[in-house]
Amino acid sequence: MTLVASIAAPVTGLVSLVPADALPTLAATERPVADFSDTPWWLSLIKAILIFVYLLLQVVVVIWFERRVIGRMQQRPGPNRFGPLGALQTLADGFKLAWKETFVPKNADTFTYLLAPMIAGAAAFIAFSVIPLGGTVSMFGHQTPLQLTDAPVAVLLVLAAAGISAYGFVLAGWSSGSTYPLLGGLRSTAQVISYEIAMGLALLAVFLYAGSMSTSTIVEAQRGMWFVIPAFFSFVVYVVCMVGETNRLPFDLAEGEGEIVGGYHTEYGGMRFAMFFLGEYVNMFTVAALASTLFLGGWHAPFGIGLINDGMFENGWWGLLWMTAKMWLFMFFFVWLRGTLPRTRYDQFMRFGWKFLIPATLVWVIAVAFIRAAQIGFLGSNTLLATISVVVIVAVIALAVAWKWDVRREQLAQRPAPPTEIDPFAGGFPVPPLPGQTLREPSLMPRGRQVSATSSSSGHPTTADPTSDKEPDNG
């Protein structure tokens, strides 16, 4: 809830600074556009089942799609035996996982070990409940939106569900009673928390442009122009964060096979492993659907198509087609990244999130807040001049930061290069060479020379006996 409050506070603060004559307009847009007044409870239950089946079918197709596309990228066929073009291979893998023998490690905490995959699998479905898949349609004689539910803070519900999924990872790593799962769980938790902050800050710009956190209201606010244009930087930050949130290459550091075997799910097999697998792919569709909703107009048709025959190809069930197509654009992006980029180093990935993404997004949110304040007349009656002034000030600040960055890089480049030949025992401990360095013959210590060392506990020097084979006792 701390993250939720930190995201909602700037939006509330901006609304409180708006002139009184502009408040009715913003207050009107804060109400959700989706109308559920003609949706009985049994119809909501049917829609929930349909969304569940929709996601399961999408997961089955995207696994096959990923293996085929990466196979073509790497000049190999991919699955091509079970079914036409290997289309039934995913079903065969599912049956194999279902019939595998289940086990619980000896040192595991049994209850938490069994609970963790359930949390990871269920949290991904929760977030999809507020995603509008289309406009209002007729189902069983009732007019209902293609959306399970909506709320004035629906986007925050998605972020909260993403935060809950982190519990599944860390509990799986801790409860397994093994070293590598614990390291993977810690990595995954730190990764999700770090990039969730930048993701929440990136979404603030969308909230400021739409004047609401309701998903249906945000989609309706993009009828004239998609938010990817005025909030392009937020879109780029969100795309980077969604790859980190879903533990996908090049950011699958919680599952690094060369470092920590399989990460948090190393000790899982059968259907328990399948729950983590399912949760990861459903989460991919969730972040893709949220990106489509917030930046690409949601279920609205692309520019030009929505104008044909007074929006004939945008109303009704057509919205489901456009929403699915936009999500699959992000699915191809996920697959393309996995087939082309290598895994990043963990410290570089975390440093990029904390030292670049979060500060840069903070500056961007402040700039958008001033731009929106100028557009509604808070900075004066001449809104165009105020907006241009804010843009110029932000550009000057960005150039100053870039110049400082270049100066820093030049200073680092002028540092003396490390020696090409090193003595591995120069500091008293064996040190491996860096890339490009060679080892020099270590200096031989004359026999009979006394070696003094500093005790790590008392700080008093000690003297070693050169004739003794034992190490000096430093306390």
Reduce the DSSP state of residue 386 to 3 states and report it. Answer: helix
Structure tokens at 64: 């096959």
User: Does residue 111 carry a pLDDT above 80?
Assistant: yes
Q: Whats the size of the chain, residue-wise?
A: 475
pLDDT at 329: 93
Structure tokens at 412: 């680092």
pLDDT at 223: 83
User: CA 463, CA 351: separation in Å to the nearest integer?
Assistant: 43
Report which of residues 429 and 131 the model is more confident about. 131
From first CA to last CA, the distance across the chain in angstroms is 48
User: Does residue 194 carry a pLDDT above 60?
Assistant: yes
How many Cβ atoms are within 10 Å of 125's Cβ, its own excluded? 19
User: CA 57, CA 51: separation in Å to the nearest integer?
Assistant: 10
pLDDT at 401: 72
Q: Select from 10, 7, 4 the least CA-distant residue to 368.
A: 10
- Global confidence as pTM: 0.74
Q: Select from 38, 40, 219, 42 the least CA-distant residue to 144.
A: 38
User: CA 83, CA 35: separation in Å to the nearest integer?
Assistant: 43
- What does pLDDT average to over the chain? 76
Contact 13, 373 (CB under 8 A): no
pLDDT at 372: 78
Report which of residues 422 and 64 the model is more confident about. 64
pLDDT at 238: 92
Contact 270, 114 (CB under 8 A): no
Report which of residues 327 and 264 the model is more confident about. 327
- For residue range 240-255, what is the model confidence (pLDDT) as tens digits? 988 887 878 788 777 7
pLDDT at 418: 66
For residue 100, what pLDDT band results from cuts at 50, 70 and 90? Answer: confident
User: Does residue 285 carry a pLDDT above 80?
Assistant: yes
Cis peptide before 10 (omega within 30 of 0): no
User: Does residue 231 carry a pLDDT above 80?
Assistant: yes
Write the CA distances from 204 to 27, 176, 195, integer angstroms: 17, 38, 15
Which residues, listed in sequence order, are joined to residue 415 by a DSSP beta bridge? none
For residue 434, what pLDDT band results from cuts at 50, 70 and 90? Answer: confident
Contact 294, 323 (CB under 8 A): no
User: CA 34, CA 173: separation in Å to the nearest integer?
Assistant: 40
Which residues, listed in sequence order, are joined to residue 139 by a DSSP beta bridge? 142
For residue 312, what pLDDT band results from cuts at 50, 70 and 90? Answer: low
Report which of residues 382 and 473 the model is more confident about. 382
- For residue range 18-51, what is the model confidence (pLDDT) as tens digits? 343 443 344 334 445 777 888 888 888 998 899 9
Segment 268-290 mean pLDDT: 84
pLDDT at 387: 64
pLDDT at 447: 44
Largest CA distance in the chain: 99
For residue 332, what pLDDT band results from cuts at 50, 70 and 90? Answer: very high
User: CA 473, CA 33: separation in Å to the nearest integer?
Assistant: 75
Q: Residue 179 corresponds to which amino acid?
A: T
Element (H, E) at 180: helix 179-210
